[in-house]
Structure 1
Amino acid sequence: MTTLGEFLIKLLESYEVDRVFGIPGVHTIELYRGLANSPITHYTPRHEQGAGFMADGYARISGKPGVCFVITGPGLTNISTAMAQAYADSIPMLVISGVNKTKHLGHGNGNLHELPNQSAFAEQVSSFSYSVNHPDDLPQVMARAFAVFSSARPRPVHIEIPIDLMSAPADHLMPIPSLTFPHPPAPDKTAIDQIADLCFGAKSPLLIIGGGVKGKNKSAQELAEYLDCPVIMTVNARGLIPDSHPLAIPASPSLKSVRSVIENSDLVLAMGTELGPTDFDMYGNQEFTIPNTLIRVDLDPLQLHRNIHPTIGVIGDADLTMQKLVHSLKENEQSHVNRNGADRALTTKQAAFNELSKPMQEQIKFLETIKSSLPGVVIIGDSTQPVYAGNLYYSPDSPKGWMNSATGFGTLGYALPAAIGAQLADPERPVVCLTGDGGIQFTLGELGSAIDAGANIIVIVWNNDGYLEIKNFMLENDITPEGVTPSSPDFPAIAEAYGLYAEHLSSKEELPAALKRARAENRPTLIQIEENLFSPTG
Structure 2
Amino acid sequence: MPDLLQERTDKQQPVNADMKMPDLGLTVADYILKLLVNWGISRIYGVIGDANLLLLDAISRQRDIRYIPFLDENAAALAASADAKLSGGVGAVIGTSGPGLVNMLNGLGDAFADRVGVLAITGQVDAPKIGLHTKQYVQQQLTVAPLAAFSELLAHPDALPGLLQHCLIMSSLQGAVTHLSIPKLMFAEKVKGAVLPYSAHLHQPLLAPEKEVEEVFHLMAAAIRPMLLIGGGVYGAEPDTKVFAEEMGAAVATTMPAKHLFPNSHPLYAGGLGLAGSEATSLLMRESDLIIILGATWWPEEFTPQGVNMIQIDAARENIGIGHGLLRGLVGDLRDIMPRLASMAKRRKKNEEAKSAWKQRISEVRNVWSERLEQETTQAGSPLAPQRIMRDLSESIPGNAIIAVDTGDHSIWFNRCFDNRGQRLLLSGRWRTLGFALPAAIAAKHAFPDQPVVAIAGDGGVVQTIMELKTAAAQSIPLVLVVINNNAYAIEKNRMELTGLDTIGSKLDNPDFVRLAEALGGIGFRAHTSEELRSCMEKALQSDKPVLIDVSASSPTVPHSKI
| Common fold by TM > 0.5 | yes
- The letter for the 1-side match of 2:365 is T
| Stretch deviating more after TM superposition (288-297 or 321-330) | 321-330
Which range moved further: 443-452 or 210-219? 210-219
Return the index of the structure with the highest Cα Rg.
Answer: 2
Q: Within 2, Cα distance between the matches of 1:239 and 1:290?
A: 27
Contact (CA 8 Å) 2:487, 2:509: kept in 1 or not?
A: yes
Alignment length (residue pairs):
520
- Alpha carbons of 1:395 and 1:46: their partners in 2 closer, same or farther (altered >3 Å)? same
Q: 1:319 offset after TM fit, Å?
A: 3.4
The superposition leaves residues 240-297 of structure 1 with CA deviations (integer Å, 9 ceiling, x where unpaired) of 0111222222232445432221122222111222234xxx35xxxx363243221112
Task: Report the counterpart of residue 47 of structure 1 in structure 2.
Answer: 72
1:321 corresponds, among 327, 337, 340, to 337
CA shift at 1:234, angstroms?
0.4
Distance 1:427 1:441 in 2: 25
Cα pair distance change 1:66/1:369, threshold 3 Å: same
Deviates more, 1:95-104 or 1:477-486: 95-104
Note closer, same or farther for the CA distance 1:424–1:534 as it changes in structure 2 (3 Å cut).
farther
Aligned partners of 1:228 and 1:337 also within 8 Å: no
- Work out which of the residue numbers 223, 226, 231 in structure 2 matches 1:210: 231
Q: How do 1:375-390 and structure 2 match up within 5 A?
A: 375-376=398-399, 377-390=401-414
Cα RMSD after superposing both structures: 2.7
Do the aligned residues in 2 keep the contact of 1:44 with 1:449 (CA within 8 Å)? Answer: yes
Match of 1:12 in 2: 36
| Structure 1 position 519 matched with structure 2 position 541 | yes
The 3 A distance-change label for structure 1 pair 136 and 242 is farther
Change (3 A) 1:203 1:57: same
Partner of 1:79: 104
2:267 maps to a residue whose letter is P
CA drift of 1:313 comes to 2.0
Structure-2 residue corresponding to 1:173: 193
Q: Name the structure 2 match of 1:123.
A: 145
Alignment of 1:102-121 (within 5 A): 102-105=127-130, 107=131, 109-116=132-139, 118-121=140-143
What SS does the corresponding residue of 1:27 show, helix, strand or coil? helix
Q: CA deviation at 1:214?
A: 1.7
**Percent of matched pairs sharing the same residue:** 25
Do 2:237 and 2:338's aligned partners in 1 also have CA atoms closer than 8 Å? no
Aligned residue in 1 for 2:328: 312
Equivalent of 1:264 in 281, 287, 301: 287
Higher mean C-alpha deviation, range 156-165 or range 194-203: 156-165
In the alignment, residue 297 of structure 1 is paired with which amino acid? I
Letter paired with 1:493: R
Structure 1: 5+ residue stretches without partners: none
What is the match of residue 258 of structure 2?
A: 237
2:266 is paired with a residue whose SS is coil
Cα deviation 1:306-362 (Å, max 9, x = unaligned): 2112121223334333234334555x6356857246544433333445667976775
CA deviations on 1:221-253 (whole Å, 9 max, x unpaired) are: 232123221211001111101112222222324
Cα deviation, residue 202, structure 1: 1.5
Secondary structure of the residue aligned to 2:134 is coil
Contact 2:271 2:281 in 1 (8 A): no
* Aligned partners of 2:314 and 2:331 also within 8 Å: yes
CA distance in 2, matches of 1:292, 1:193: 21
1:406-421 superposed matches below 5 A: 407-421=429-443
Q: Which residue of the other structure, out of 354, 363, 376, is the alignment partner of 2:386?
A: 363
Report SS of the residue matched to 1:194.
helix
Question: Which of residues 484, 496, 519 in structure 1 aligns to 2:518?
Answer: 496
Matched, 1:349 2:366: yes
- Specify the SS of the correspondent of 1:130: strand
2:47 is matched with 23
Supply the distance in 2 between the matched residues of 1:79 and 1:349 (Cα, whole angstroms): 43
SS of match in other structure, 1:428: coil
1:57-206 correspondence runs (5 A): 57-105=82-130, 107=131, 109-116=132-139, 118-152=140-174, 154-170=175-191, 172-174=192-194, 176-177=196-197, 179-182=199-202, 183-206=204-227
Is residue 292 from structure 1 mapped to residue 314 from structure 2 by the alignment?
no
Question: What is the rounded CA distance, in whole Å, between the counterparts of 1:185 and 1:149 in structure 2?
Answer: 18
Matched with 1:506 is 528
Q: Which residue identity does 2:121 align to in structure 1?
A: I
Q: Give 1:518 deviation, angstroms.
A: 0.9
Deviations 1:398-417 (A, max 9, x none): 152x3333x41121111111
Q: TM-score, normalised by structure 2?
A: 0.85
TM-score normalised over the length of structure 1: 0.89
The offset of 1:177, in angstroms, is 4.5
Cα distance in 1 for residues equivalent to 2:446 and 2:197: 29
SS at match of 2:430: coil
What is the DSSP-based 3-state SS (H/G/I as helix, E as strand, rest coil) of the residue aligned with 2:539?
helix
Which whole-Å CA distance do the structure 2 matches of 1:382 and 1:395 have between them?
Answer: 18
Q: Aligned equivalents of 1:175 and 1:125: distance in 2?
A: 28
Asked if the contact 2:377/2:391 (under 8 Å) is kept, the reply is no
Change (3 A) 1:518 1:101: same
Corresponding residue number in structure 2 for 1:252: 273
**Structure 1 residue 130, shift from structure 2 partner:** 3.4
Choose between structure 1 and 2 for higher RCO, CA contacts under 8 A separated by at least 6 residues: 1
Extract unaligned runs of 5+ from structure 2: 1-24, 379-384, 558-563
Give the aligned partner of residue 348 of structure 2: 333
SS of the counterpart of 1:121?
Answer: helix
| Separation in structure 2 between the aligned mates of residue 474 and residue 421 of structure 1, nearest angstrom | 35
Amino acid of the structure 2 residue aligned with 1:173: G
Distance in 2 between residues matched to 1:519 and 1:533, nearest whole Å = 26
Q: Would the alpha carbon gap of residues 175 and 53 (structure 1) be closer, same or farther in structure 2, given more than 3 Å must change?
A: closer
Paired residues of 1:360 and 1:386 also in contact (CA < 8 A)? no
Check the 8 A contact 1:250/1:394 in 2, yes or no.
Answer: no
Q: Aligned partners of 2:238 and 2:516: how far apart in 1?
A: 45
SS in 2 for 1:212: helix
Work out whether residues 299 and 316 of structure 1, in 8 Å CA contact, stay in contact via their aligned partners in 2. Answer: yes
Give the whole-Å Cα distance in 2 for the aligned partners of 1:184 and 1:124.
30
Residue in 2 that maps onto 1:301: 317
Q: Which amino acid aligns with 1:218?
A: P
Give the Cα separation in 1 of the matches to 2:285 and 2:222. 17
Distance 1:526 1:360 in 2: 23
Q: 1:159 to 1:204 in 2, by over 3 A?
A: same
What is the CA–CA distance in structure 1 between the aligned matches of 2:73 and 2:327, rounded to whole Å? Answer: 43
Measure the CA separation in 2 of the matches of 1:357 and 1:480.
Answer: 34
Is the partner of 1:238 in helix, strand or coil?
helix
Spell out the pairing of 1:399-410 with structure 2 (5 A cutoff).
400=424, 402-405=425-428, 407-410=429-432
What's the secondary structure of 1:124's corresponding residue?
A: coil
Matched with 2:246 is: 225
- Matched with 1:448 is 470
Deviation at 1:523, TM superposition (A): 1.0
